[in-house]
């Protein structure tokens, strides 16, 4: 037998909690204690419900912040297309809504999205410590199927590296965050990169994704 169906773990993925509380409360996760508490209550209820389904069906179900960046975009577009949800969606969708609306229904790669998982929205003007304070609460036991905390470093090169180690140790010792990643942004001139590729191999032709890997 290729797959042991009885041993599978089924995942309920979470997308757009920040926009959900913004719709109901009027503020985002980082903007008010009421919104933060509402998100905790909603996620706790969902976790209890998933356990109840597991008990009734015998299936193992986990609540998770899945890698759903493209799903956040797809859900936002779907809500704009459906007239039942368009008006409230327009008030909470992130990205460039003004640029997306003229293209709605013509293409599906639009610059709009819902915030992934239980994360603070990427554009929130809050320090990293505030993000930690909010997001660490949604790690186990609430989200027991997987979650990640992103630490975006921009183009900075922290010096000395011990500072990153101290931050990592602080996360592990003082928060519920069990999985996190330090990520730097890389900026390159595609014009110069193309010239470099042409000199090496005039016949080479790379996609944008290939260029990122190559860099």
Tens-binned pLDDT, residue by residue, of the chain (215 aa): 687 877 888 888 889 999 999 999 999 999 999 999 999 999 999 999 999 999 999 888 888 777 777 899 999 999 999 999 999 999 999 999 999 999 998 888 899 999 988 889 988 888 888 888 898 888 877 777 667 787 777 656 666 677 778 888 888 888 888 778 777 665 555 555 554 455 555 544 444 443 333 33
**What is d(CA 37, CA 18) in angstroms, rounded to the nearest whole number?**
12
* Cα 142 to Cα 113: distance, rounded to the nearest angstrom: 24
Q: Using alpha carbons only, how large is the chain's radius of gyration in Å?
A: 21
pLDDT of residue 215: 32
Q: How far is CA 177 from the centre of its chain?
A: 15
Cβ(143)–Cβ(14) under 8 Å? yes
Q: Rounded to an integer, what distance in angstroms lies between the CA atom of residue 73 and that of residue 112?
A: 6
Domain span at 201: 189-215
Whether residues 30 and 121 fall in one domain:
yes
| Residue 16 to residue 174: CA distance in whole angstroms | 26
Give residues with Cβ within 8 angstroms of 98, minimum separation 6: none
Considering its fold, how many domains does the chain have in total? 2
Looking at the domain assignment, is residue 85 inside a domain?
no
Residue 178 lies in a domain: yes
Please tell me the predicted confidence (pLDDT) of residue 204: 45
Pairing of strands 149-152, 180-183: parallel
197 class by beta-carbon count within 10 Å (0-12 exposed, 13-18 middle, 19+ buried): middle
Tell me the sheet residues that pair with 116: 15
Query: Is residue 129 a contact partner of residue 159, using CB atoms and an 8 Å limit?
Result: no
Q: Does any domain span residue 99?
A: no
Distances in Å between the Cα of 180 and the Cα atoms of 53, 74, 146, 152 are 29, 25, 11, 11
Cα 199 → chain centroid: 39
Question: Residue 158 has what pLDDT?
Answer: 61
- Asked if residue 110 is part of any domain, the answer here is no
Is residue 156 one of the residues assigned to a domain?
yes
Contacts of 213 (CB under 8 A, 6+ apart): none
Same domain, 121 and 178: yes
How high is the pLDDT of residue 157?
Answer: 63
Residue 210 lies in a domain: yes
- Shared-domain flag, residues 45 and 136: yes
The answer to whether 68 and 116 have CB atoms below 8 angstroms apart is yes
Q: Model's pTM, two decimal places?
A: 0.74
In this structure, the answer to whether residues 120 and 172 fall within a common structural domain is yes
């Amino acid at each position: 037998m290729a797959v042991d169906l009885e041993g599978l773990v089924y995942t309920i993925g979470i997308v757009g909690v920040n926009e959900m509380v913004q719709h109901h409360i009027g503020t985002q996760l980082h903007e008010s204690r009421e919104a933060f508490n509402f998100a905790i209550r909603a996620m706790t209820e969902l976790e209890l419900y998933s356990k109840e389904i597991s008990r009734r069906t015998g299936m193992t179900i986990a609540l998770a912040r899945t890698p759903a960046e493209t799903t956040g975009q797809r859900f936002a577009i779907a809500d704009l297309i459906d007239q039942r949800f368009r008006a409230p969606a327009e008030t909470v969708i992130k990205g460039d809504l003004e640029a997306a609306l003229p293209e709605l229904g013509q293409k599906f790669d639009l610059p709009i999205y819902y915030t992934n998982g239980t994360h603070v929205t990427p554009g929130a003007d809050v320090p990293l410590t505030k993000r930690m304070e909010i997001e660490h609460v949604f790690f186990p036991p609430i989200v027991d199927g997987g979650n990640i905390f992103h630490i975006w470093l921009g183009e900075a090169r922290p010096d000395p590296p011990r500072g990153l180690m101290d931050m990592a140790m602080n996360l592990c010792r003082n928060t519920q965050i069990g999985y996190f990643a330090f990520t730097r942004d890389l900026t390159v001139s595609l014009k110069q990169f193309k010239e470099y590729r042409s000199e090496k191999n005039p016949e080479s032709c790379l996609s944008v994704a290939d260029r990122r890997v190559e860099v």
